[in-house]
């Protein structure tokens, strides 16, 4: 990757010239490209609605996607979008000014979902679930209005792991955020190109670039969130065994239905003696579709 001022997207202007940052930037770009290719996100000529909250993750997403497009490696149009949800004190001018300065095509949408969430959620309960549903509905609508085939989100590897353990501990199911999802109406994809990228890398990148980070004060101020509890557990495991997060993440990509207990994924009742698995793969036969 070249660092000549004439050979970079404006989002990378002023990037640190040190070796450590260059390695970080290269790693994030490589991992993002791998996720896009591995999970089949590219449709040539498509248009993506890139969701920008103003947090470190969405800034990283925006910069890396434009880097890939700048290099000719992402043949899609990109439209940045911020959904201003009416939170008190939200600095409404920060993102429009930033996007204008960077020459990034964008749409700023104002919808007061904050008042709805505060009104509907009982005191003491967390806002995240309802806030997320309302936000997603508006983003699908905006995507349709703008001719976008996909809503692109900045969830990273650690978000995916935390969601897995939240479902495990509190939902009684093995599930997480998929890197690629089709909405219920079947007309808009949801992509997560940062699926392979660590949260710490997003934080280092956004801070090193000096992007104007906007904190989420709606849910971030609530104590005892289940996600924060899970994050602390994962932090403890990682501190005791460095690299543990990546090992667990790889497990999500290496499922063995025949070694779990879901008869909807593997036909245990149909497993009989004398019926060898296909190509020596114990999961290949018999399996329910």
Instruction: Indicate the DSSP class of residue 276.
Output: P
- List the end-to-end C-alpha distance of the chain, in Å, as a whole number: 44
Cβ contact 47:149 at 8 Å: yes
Instruction: Determine the Cα–Cα distance for residues 8 and 1; give it in Å rounded to an integer.
Output: 9
- Residue 128 counted as an annotated binding residue: yes
- Residue 131 counted as an annotated binding residue: yes
Q: Which two tokens stand for residue 2?
A: 């070249």
Instruction: Determine the Cα–Cα distance for residues 219 and 170; give it in Å rounded to an integer.
Output: 19
Q: Cα separations (Å) of 82 from 86, 242, 286?
A: 12, 35, 47
Q: Which two tokens stand for residue 101?
A: 């300065």
Longest dimension (CA), the chain: 69
Q: Is 151 exposed, middle or buried (0-12, 13-18, 19+ CB in 10 A)?
A: buried
Cβ contact 198:53 at 8 Å: no
**Could you give the 3-state DSSP secondary structure of residue 194?**
coil
Could you write out the DSSP letters of every residue in 212-244? -----HHHHT-TT-HHHHHHHHHHHHHHHSTTH
Binding residue numbers: 128, 131, 219
Binding residue numbers for [4Fe-4S] cluster: 128, 131, 219
């Amino acid at each position: 990757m070249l660092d000549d001022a004439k050979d970079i997207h404006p989002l990378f202007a002023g990037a640190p010239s040190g070796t450590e940052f260059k390695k970080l930037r290269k790693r994030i770009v490589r991992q993002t490209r791998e996720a896009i290719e591995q999970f089949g996100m590219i449709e040539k000529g498509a248009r993506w609605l890139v969701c920008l909250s103003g947090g470190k993750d969405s800034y990283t997403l925006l910069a890396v996607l434009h880097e890939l497009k700048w290099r000719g490696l992402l043949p899609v149009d990109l439209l940045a979008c911020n959904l201003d949800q009416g939170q008190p004190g939200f600095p409404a001018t920060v993102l429009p000014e930033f996007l204008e300065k960077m020459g990034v095509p964008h749409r700023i949408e104002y919808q007061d979902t904050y008042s709805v969430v505060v009104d509907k959620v009982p005191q003491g309960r967390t806002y995240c679930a309802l806030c997320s549903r309302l936000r997603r509905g508006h983003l699908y609508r905006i995507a349709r209005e703008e001719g976008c085939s996909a809503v692109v989100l900045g969830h990273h590897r650690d978000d995916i792991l935390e969601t897995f353990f939240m479902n495990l501990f509190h939902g009684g199911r093995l599930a997480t955020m998929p890197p690629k999802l089709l909405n219920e109406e079947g007309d808009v994809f949801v992509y997560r190109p940062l699926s392979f990228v660590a949260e710490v890398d997003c934080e280092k990148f956004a801070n090193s670039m000096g992007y104007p980070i906007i904190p989420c004060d709606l849910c971030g101020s609530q104590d005892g969130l289940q996600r924060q509890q899970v994050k602390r557990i994962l932090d403890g495991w990682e501190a005791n065994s460095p690299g543990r997060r990546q090992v667990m993440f790889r497990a999500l990509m290496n499922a063995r239905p025949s070694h779990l207990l879901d008869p909807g994924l593997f036909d245990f009742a149909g497993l009989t003696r004398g019926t060898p698995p296909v190509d020596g793969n114990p999961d290949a036969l018999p399996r329910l579709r």
